């Protein structure tokens, strides 16, 4: 069986080839910055978290096991997410979870309508969510973690995770509705 480019790169990384690490950074830093920026808002903090993530990757590359196409990307993304969560927990200025948001009740079946909304606008809305809501939303939606898993990762109660997700979803539904109204008014 012939090795693919990702598998060859992974093998070179394990051998600690400097050129392989430069290649990895050039190929994946943009994607990993995007993953990180779903959790971290400040560009300086994103940079710091990414730097720590690459250091962590370098130190733990021996534990990486190639499991098929995309496994290197998944491994690196996991490290970036873990470093992002660690950063959020360690930063005392961050108010991770709060109940000060009063959300209008939305029916359980109401899902945000994402048709005709650019991905960049949706990501801007997600990034504007309060930190705790954004963190739970990202873990639930993008990382497909259960509320039980999220609770374990963040050191919160399982029902707090579900509540944070519900509130994030309610905020997004409202932001999407506002966006659509503004777009409609703009074109009339």
The CATH number of the domain holding residue 141 is 1.10.10.10
Q: How many domains does the chain have?
A: 2
Which of 25-34, 72-81, 96-105 bottoms out in mean pLDDT, i.e. has the lowest?
96-105
Do 14 and 71 share a domain, yes or no?
A: yes
Do 124 and 162 share a domain, yes or no?
A: yes
pLDDT of residue 155: 87
Q: What is the pLDDT of residues 173-187, one digit of tens each?
A: 888 888 888 877 777
Q: Is residue 135 part of a domain?
A: yes
Do 123 and 80 share a domain, yes or no?
A: no
pLDDT of residue 97: 55
pLDDT of residue 117: 83
pLDDT of residue 184: 76
Q: How confident is the model at residue 64 (pLDDT cuts 50, 70, 90)?
A: very high
Give 109-117's long-range contacts (Cβ < 8 A, gap of 24+): 110/173, 111/169, 111/173, 112/169, 112/172, 112/173, 112/176, 113/176, 113/180, 114/176, 116/180, 117/176, 117/179, 117/180
Q: Is residue 28 part of a domain?
A: yes
In this structure, what CATH number is given to the domain that contains residue 69? 1.10.1740.10
Closest by CA to 141, choosing from 53, 67, 81, is: 81
- Residue ending a domain, among 74, 90, 106, is 90
Contacts of 66 (CB under 8 A, 6+ apart): 6, 7, 10, 11, 72
| Choice between 92 and 48, residue whose per-residue pLDDT is larger | 48
Q: Is residue 171 part of a domain?
A: yes
- State which residues form the domain around 83: 5-90
Do 45 and 83 share a domain, yes or no?
A: yes
Which of 9-23, 55-69, 91-105, 112-126 bottoms out in mean pLDDT, i.e. has the lowest?
91-105
- Residue ending a domain, among 90, 107, 128, is 90
Q: Is residue 141 part of a domain?
A: yes
Both tokens of 98, joined, read 């709060």
pLDDT of residue 48: 96
Q: Is residue 55 part of a domain?
A: yes
pLDDT of residue 179: 87
pLDDT of residue 79 exceeding 50, the answer is yes
């Amino acid at each position: 069986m012939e090795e693919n480019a990702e598998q060859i790169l992974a093998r070179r990384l394990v051998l600690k080839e400097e050129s392989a690490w430069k290649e990895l950074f050039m190929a994946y830093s943009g994607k990993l910055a995007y993953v990180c920026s779903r959790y971290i808002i400040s560009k300086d903090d994103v940079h710091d978290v990414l730097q720590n993530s690459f250091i962590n990757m370098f130190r733990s590359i021996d534990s990486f096991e190639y499991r098929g196409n995309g496994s290197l990307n998944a491994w690196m993304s996991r490290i970036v997410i873990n470093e992002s969560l660690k950063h959020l927990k360690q930063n005392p200025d961050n108010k991770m979870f709060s109940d000060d948001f009063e959300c209008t009740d939305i029916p359980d079946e109401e899902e945000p309508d994402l048709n005709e909304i650019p991905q960049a606008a949706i990501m801007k809305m997600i990034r504007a969510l309060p930190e705790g809501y954004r963190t739970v939303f990202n873990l639930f939606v993008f990382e497909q973690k259960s509320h039980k898993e999220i609770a374990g990762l963040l050191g919160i109660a399982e029902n707090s995770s579900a509540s944070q997700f519900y509130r994030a979803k309610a905020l997004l539904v409202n932001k999407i509705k506002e966006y659509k109204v503004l777009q409609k008014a703009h074109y009339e």
